[in-house]
Structure 1
Amino acid sequence: MKEPFVKALPILEEIEKAGFEAYFVGGSVRDLLLNRDIDDVDIATSATPDEIKGIFSKTVDVGIDHGTVVVLYQGEAYEITTFRSESEYTDFRRPNDVTFIRSLKEDLRRRDFTMNAIAMNKDGEIIDPFDGREALQNKVIQTVGDASERFHEDALRMMRAVRFVSQLSFSIDNNTFLALKEHGKLLSLIAVERITTEFEKLLMGQDYQQAIRLLIETEIYQFLPGLSRHQEELYAFQQIHLERGFSIEEHWIMLLHHLKLPSAEVESFMRGWKQPVKKIRSVQKGLSCLYKRMTHDWVIEELYRAQIELAVSTQKLFNVLMKKDLAHGLKQLEEQWEALPIKERSELAITGQDLMDWYEQKGGPWIEESLRKIEIAVIKREIRNGKESIRKWLFECNQP
């Protein structure tokens, strides 16, 4: 049994000591069987939230109406959820009512996919009433019970299914595939933020190309923000392979590059995915840099403006698009960077105050314009980065 489970064993033991059942469930058990890294564990129990709070002295109510209590134990936080059954879902997200039950099997029956409907007791024994291990062995994603019912309960499960294709390199079983194709429109009823979380996990998965193909084949892409008119562009995008190590911003840049959106539409597209402003600006800058790199080699001013981190990122994306070795041109680029007389404006030998003193003028837009010209002259080695050299150059050139 791996460390995260071993560390949490006292939780299960305390619950059982109080006369209740407790099991590890869900993704952590799945990942254990797949020999994947495990970050944290989820625990399901026959004890009600109030009974759990009576067993442990430090708890936090995080979703008590739906049976979840966080137990704080030896510096760790553990989510413990009571076995439950659920009524109809009218908002395609949450059940109208939750009933606490004492049956593990009935609790597992309400879960999304068979590979996630597996439990493990404190002795490491696996409880698998819906053949989740067989699905894992066959590398197949299939719903517990009727796929249409599961997707009507929570439409986001459709995005989760495709995301697991990307992360696990699994395939979708036929019934689940047909339900994805039939019910994709339900995603229009789901909060964009929830869809974005799944989509970004999909993009970062090792087999995102297969997942993007699945989005196209099931026509789910039509119900994702800004993608409904971009089937051909998505086909082109899914042919590009970004190795592990590329950031989520770089994945967005590559997607946008293939969508061929006008620059003026990039921000509205990203806002459609409810992206934070900081990320939007980062993606816009990276996309602009990539567009320039696609048309010409690095220009010293552009390298200086981009800074080395963005320049390296851009060069790597360019290499992927051009089917070159990922390291192609990076050494030369870094040598160009190291050869720059200055790396940023703060390294200039003068400030805006110097300009105001020299010209006996008040501050204004002319300061920014003058500093920009000085920066370019310095990095091009037209002048030395010294106060007197800059002052002499300014007056000889009749600047500002």
Structure 2
Amino acid sequence: MKFDLKMDYGSKTIINKLMENGYEGYIVGGCVRDLIMGITPKDFDITTDCTPDKVTEIFKDSFNVIPTGEKYGTVTIIIDKIPYEVTTYRKEGDYKDNRHPEKVEYQSELSFDLARRDFTINAMAYNEKDGLVDLYGGVLDVKNKILRAVGDANIRFNEDALRIIRAYRFASRYNLTIERKTLSAIYINLHLLKTIASERIIKELKEIFENDYDIFNMAFIEVLIPELSKCFECEQNTKYHLYSVGEHIYNSFNEVKPVFHLKLAMLLHDIGKPYVKTTDDKGCDHFYTHSQKSKEISDIVLRRLKVDNKTRKRVLTLVEYHDVKFKCDKFNIKCMLNKLSKEVFDDLIEVRLADERAKNLAYTKENIDLIEKCIELKEEIIRNDEVYSIKQLDVTGDDIKKEFKVKGEIVGRVLNRLLEVCMVDDSLNKREILLEKAREFVK
């Protein structure tokens, strides 16, 4: 099958110049995969039999050449402000830490370079002269939507254990099925993930979660978060639940929108339940204070995974409040909006819905209807610009200070009282009325 893949100007320029100087050159890896799938590549990587010093010599007078990874045979050429990584064909020695090879040997044949790559769909090369070079059946795997390791999957995952997580990233991004032998090797080598830096893992994890991949297919999760194992051993003997804590967590994860911090929140919202479980004399299980315990464990997990502080704080807030029962009336919704902010309140609604949908719907349908009613009221509050925050008041702290010659804590207390008044009756949010009310409060 002949392929006519559309390379960009920079990659064409580099390959043509390499050939003019007697060397080979191909675009390789993800950019070839994407072009075959009909996707515009984010970047173009180039492989060649030309060594880094020679690449630098050939291009230094025409373009900016940066020695970004000469140790591993890579230089970066900048063309029209776009970086192109040019890497010499190479064969890698033994891996010392499931990531870095002990040594890199430059090779004169493309086949050696393709043999070291992770998956068949990423082990293809192309140039306009030779066409597509596909030694491992990558095109067929793309067609059949299969993710298959190049050669021996066990060797590939031992070379770089992050490839285990990358397998799920590719499967989730392109809707691929992981081939049986590759999947078997993943299970065998899951323990190697413990050797990989969290900073590398979290980037892959974020994309997998945002691709809305089924968590029941993510064999690696309990390796990254071993605290979850206890949840699968914890049954919930209550009419509101059909599953163990772990199964409920996974079902709720699949129910929530594919937003990274929402996925994390569902993964962790009930993780403290096994530690607070009690059973009454009727045999019914209870999990009092589980939200607080879950928050404590979540903080440990999120720090260990090196989740950024902003995301970590948002997730902890959602875990803490996920089981709070708020009344479905405007005043209480305004109180929650004021306490959490509109953005966090919207997230909490999503968490609450996912949580309820993963329970016994025979008993939680009423709760879902109530939450959806809360959404309607919240949207009405926002649409009408009804007051739920001190910032929306028609007076400021400075107004209170000047008018009544008070300061500090008293100003804050007066503003909070005025906010309560306006949350009950939005029509009272007028400067003259508020100052009159403030005069009563100051007295």
Distance 1:258 1:36 in 2: 39
- Structure 1 partner of 2:311: 279
**Is this contact kept in 2: 1:341–1:381, CA < 8 A?**
no
Letter of the structure 1 residue corresponding to residue 157 of structure 2: F
- Structure 1 partner of 2:147: 141
Alignment partner of 2:128: what SS? Answer: coil
**Structure 1 residue 127: Cα displacement:** 0.4
- Structure 1 partner of 2:295: 263
Alignment partner of 2:221: what SS? Answer: helix
| Cα 1:361–1:311 shift into 2, 3 Å | closer
Distance 2:156 2:120 in 1: 11
Moved more, 182-191 or 260-269: 260-269
- Structure 2 partner of 1:44: 47
Distance 1:328 1:5 in 2: 49
**Structure 1 residue 321: Cα displacement:** 4.7
| Cα 1:343–1:24 shift into 2, 3 Å | farther
- Structure 2 partner of 1:251: 263
TM value normalised by structure 1 = 0.86
- Structure 1 partner of 2:392: 347
**Structure 1 residue 306: Cα displacement:** 3.9
Distance 1:45 1:22 in 2: 5
**Structure 1 residue 246: Cα displacement:** 4.0
Per-residue CA distance 1:28-61 (angstroms, 9 max, x = gap): 2112222234222211111111111112231112
Alignment partner of 1:112: what SS? Answer: coil
| Cα 1:34–1:244 shift into 2, 3 Å | farther
Distance 1:225 1:334 in 2: 36
**Structure 1 residue 95: Cα displacement:** 0.3
| Cα 1:205–1:134 shift into 2, 3 Å | same
- Structure 2 partner of 1:159: 165
| Cα 1:252–1:221 shift into 2, 3 Å | closer
Distance 1:234 1:42 in 2: 42
5+ residue gaps, structure 2, are 233-244, 273-292, 358-367
**Structure 1 residue 274: Cα displacement:** 0.5
Match of 2:419 among 368, 372, 375: 375
Moved more, 386-395 or 223-232: 223-232
Distance 1:4 1:240 in 2: 43
- Structure 1 partner of 2:221: 221
Letter of the structure 1 residue corresponding to residue 222 of structure 2: Q
Equivalent positions of 1:74-89 (< 5 A) are: 74-89=80-95
Letter of the structure 1 residue corresponding to residue 421 of structure 2: A
| Cα 1:343–1:15 shift into 2, 3 Å | farther
Distance 2:246 2:13 in 1: 49
**Structure 1 residue 131: Cα displacement:** 1.7
**Structure 1 residue 89: Cα displacement:** 0.6
**Is this contact kept in 2: 1:28–1:38, CA < 8 A?**
yes
| Cα 1:245–1:50 shift into 2, 3 Å | farther
Distance 1:13 1:225 in 2: 49
Letter of the structure 1 residue corresponding to residue 134 of structure 2: D
Alignment partner of 1:239: what SS? Answer: helix
- Structure 2 partner of 1:300: 334
TM value normalised by structure 2 = 0.78
Per-residue CA distance 1:194-235 (angstroms, 9 max, x = gap): 1111111211124x10xx22334xxx3332045452563554
Distance 1:249 1:198 in 2: 14
**Is this contact kept in 2: 1:60–1:71, CA < 8 A?**
yes
Letter of the structure 2 residue corresponding to residue 176 of structure 1: T
Match of 1:69 among 68, 75, 90: 75
Moved more, 335-344 or 195-204: 335-344
5+ residue gaps, structure 1, are none
What fraction of aligned residue pairs are identical, expressed as a percent?
Answer: 27
* Matched pairs, number: 390
Letter of the structure 2 residue corresponding to residue 300 of structure 1: K
Equivalent positions of 1:86-125 (< 5 A) are: 86-123=92-129, 125=131
| Cα 1:339–1:135 shift into 2, 3 Å | same
Distance 1:244 1:46 in 2: 48
Distance 1:240 1:340 in 2: 33
Task: Please state if 1:360 is matched with 2:405.
Answer: yes
| Cα 1:245–1:26 shift into 2, 3 Å | farther
Alignment partner of 1:30: what SS? Answer: helix
